[in-house]
Amino acid sequence: MTAPRVIEAIDVATFPMRFRTVVRHASAVRRATENVVVTARAANGVSGVGEGCPRSYVTGEFVASAAAFIGEVAPLVCNNVRRVDDLRSYVETSRERIDAAPAAWCAVELAV
């Protein structure tokens, strides 16, 4: 018998934000940022929130590709992760996919 779902839903939103000052570094000059924010809602009503910072020049991700990745993995995580060991197992079996979207996965993992 399969244990009941623990994570009922994983939702993703984008979070644009202007900086108070211009941020300059070797790869970019930024006046604003846009991140992905993930909310994971458990069956018992508890919610967790995680944030990821996809940057094409750092992780190879864009906000849209990170949001798409999260949308694809959300049902897999909801349907298969019931304990911490399940999350570890998912990470091990999905390493290549996760490594291609590290900022997106960061947001999911923090929320869960």
pLDDT score at 57: 87
Picking from 88, 69, 60, the residue whose alpha carbon sits closest to that of residue 12 is 69
Q: Where are the domains of the chain?
A: 7-111
Residue 3 scores a pLDDT above 80 = no
**pLDDT at site 47:** 97
CA–CA gap between residue 30 and residue 21 (Å, rounded)? 9
pTM, two decimal places: 0.88
Share of the chain above pLDDT 90, in %: 86
Higher pLDDT, 101 or 58: 101
The per-residue pLDDT for range 64-104, each reduced to its tens digit, is: 999 999 999 999 999 999 999 999 999 999 999 999 999 99
Predicted confidence at residue 2, as pLDDT, reads 63
**Contact criterion met (CB below 8 Å) for 44 and 87:** no
- CATH superfamily assigned to domain 7-111: Enolase-like, N-terminal domain (3.30.390.10)
